[in-house]
Amino acid sequence: METATLTSSFIGTSNRGFALYAQDEVRRLIPGTKCTELSDQEVFLMQCPISREEVIARFGAEEPIFVRHLHPVDATTELNRQESDLHRLAALVSREWSFRTGERLAIQVRKQDRLELPYSPAQVREALTDKLEQLFQIEPVPREAERIVSVYVTADTAYVGLSAPSDNLSDWAGGAVRFQREEDQISRAKFKLLEAEQEFGLDLAAFSNGLDIGAAPGGWTSLLLERGLRVTAIDPGDMHPSLVKHPKLTIYRRNARDVQFPPQSFDLLVCDMSWSPLQMAKLLIPLLDALRTGGTAIVTLKLMHGKPFQTVKDTSRTLAPYLELVRAKQLFHNRDEVTLFLIKR
């Protein structure tokens, strides 16, 4: 079972193409950690020179920007890439851990990209679920579990861990946050703001007046309106026709630099523009007087060159006289971006 040791292993996951940056963060957070890439610049094995408990504590105290998910490796087993692997994995999990009757348990299974197997992750999950239901009468759930069994399958090894959802940074498998696309959804950009709301522990419905800079065609505006806010949208481009007559929406078809508002007009500012971070910051600053003291800003940074840490540092320094950076995180829906959560000074 789980006992404190002087070393520990974890599976870490980043957005595709950002694993090296995630690994740099891990090594700064836990010096001496060795990382081995498992899947196409996205998934990697972390071998840490400190205990599992200390690793989780450090991630909890200072969550990295680019590590979106991790899970402990408490046990491993060799695989032969045959259907007998299903029985081997089910036996391993049922042997290693006990579960309370009725315990809400999520079983999350992933595999290496392009790995050909005679079984799917769903079949692995089904085999484990059947075994644990039979032995312990667990309640299998996809989300809001009490604990998570995580399995990552490579060509010859399965890495298995049991943890609380909070220890994994995200309770989605691999941190891949999925939302249901709506029939009339304006754009997929809406998913970024939905994920930011979850990741930063916000309740968008708690705000009353929102300012959306670079709003067209209106993905973020539409979510704020759904939450009941009055929204002011600024963009020289066209907003989606479904929004233009909304009674709580005011649209300025202008460049943001050409608009002014009275001080303390808004309690929420959002900005998701395909501009360079420096240009975006310079555009925001003249408008920040309109954000109330203590108000919230959610801003997306486009990572347009190979120095993402410096980009976040330079942008937050530029905004620092006006906005305090609470967290910076590369969300699953960010792709080549980072989202900043800031508070007006």
Nearest to 218 by CA among 204, 239, 235: 239
Contact present, 302 and 276 (Cβ < 8 Å)? yes
As given in the structure block, the two tokens for residue 124 are: 């692995």
Indicate which residue of 302, 307, 313, 329 is catalytic: 302
Give SS3 for 71: strand
Burial of 292 (0-12, 13-18, 19+ CB in 10 A): middle
**Is 302 marked active-site?**
yes
| End-to-end alpha carbon distance in the chain | 47
Nearest to 336 by CA among 312, 313, 308: 308
Residues 6+ apart with CB under 8 A from 217: 186, 187, 237, 238, 239, 240
Catalytically active residues, by annotation: 302
